[in-house]
A and B are shown apart, each in its own frame.
Chain A
Amino acid sequence: MANGEITSIVIRTVSRIIIPFIQIFGLYTIIHGEASPGGGFQGGVILGTSIILLTIVFGLEEAKRRIPRGLILVFMSLGLLIYSGIGLLDMLFGGKYLEYTRLPLPLSGHEISALSILCVEIGIGITVMSVIILLFFYSVRDEDAHGINA
């Protein structure tokens, strides 16, 4: 229990199995947000919780080894960059900001727009996921430093 990880073999095995499924469900929620309830925020939060589960079960050190701080920072910016980048691209091709149909793709107007919406949702998902992970990492680290469980 030194760095807060759970030692029970049942929980460790079950989480090892369940985490990929949570992540798949998160991706499904993001991608299927166009046709059913869901979207970037919801899916991003689900993806984030899978990492939170990983942290709770396998400890902060393991989670940090897999997801370093710099990566979270890059992801946080990347999501927003995708979103605003799409807007800037639209502007580059002569439209207004976020006027999706102006992208020069060999597709019909509303297909381009649907595609752009998908990209935007993915961008939102990335940002939300990394912020959720960041929130959890920081709060856990702080508690460790203070030694409430020590």
Chain B
Amino acid sequence: MLMELMLRYNYWISVVLMLIGFYTMISKKNFIKKIIGMNIFQTAIFLLYISMADIEGRSAPIIISETGYVNPLPHVLILTAIVVSVSTTAVALSLIMKIYKEYGSIEEDKILEVHS
């Protein structure tokens, strides 16, 4: 059983991170914490992609070595996904700045109070 787990420990790590991120995202009232959760979630997915590209004993996909290369495509996809994540974070943070200016708070509870 333990061996089974050890064989796939990379997935378990990213699953745990994903759950942490997901929980932070939906349960926290503070907007910045939500964004932090979003970043953890996304990074966990990146970890999943990168770890599934790995092949034991092979090197990074740059043509210099003789040992063969790990799968390069997930790296490419994740470069794209990282940029998407950065852009989402940028838009989210600027929205938070605007919300703070308009409502004077970034706590969901307080905003709902101000609102009503």
Contacts and interface: CB of A to CB of B under 8 A. Distances in A.
A touching B, CB within 8 angstroms: yes
Q: Is the interface of B mostly helix, strand, loop or mixed?
A: helix
B97 interface: yes
Interface string B77-116: 0010011000000100110010001000000000000000
A36 B62 contact: yes
A36 B60 CA distance: 10
Contacts of A146: 101
Interface stretch (A10-18, A112-120, A134-142): A134-142
B110 to A, nearest CB: 18
A139 B94 contact: yes
B92 to A, nearest CB: 12
A98 B82 CA distance: 23
A135 B62 contact: no
Contacts of A135: 90, 94
A37 interface: yes
B97 to A, nearest CB: 6
Contacts of A39: 79
Q: Is the interface of A mostly helix, strand, loop or mixed?
A: helix
Interface residues of B, number: 10
Contact of A142 (B79, B83, B97): B97
A37 B62 contact: yes
A1 interface: no
B83 A37 contact: no
A150 interface: no
Contact of B83 (A36, A41, A139): A41
A35 interface: yes
Contact of B94 (A36, A37, A138): A138
Interface in B3-43: none
Nearest to A146: B101
Contacts of A142: 97, 101
Contacts of B94: 135, 138-139
Given A35-B62, A36-B62, A37-B62, A139 B93 contact: yes
Given A37-B60, A39-B79, A41-B82, 15 more contacts: A35-B62, A36-B62, A37-B62, A41-B79, A41-B83, A128-B83, A135-B90, A135-B94, A138-B94, A139-B93, A139-B94, A139-B97, A142-B97, A142-B101, A146-B101
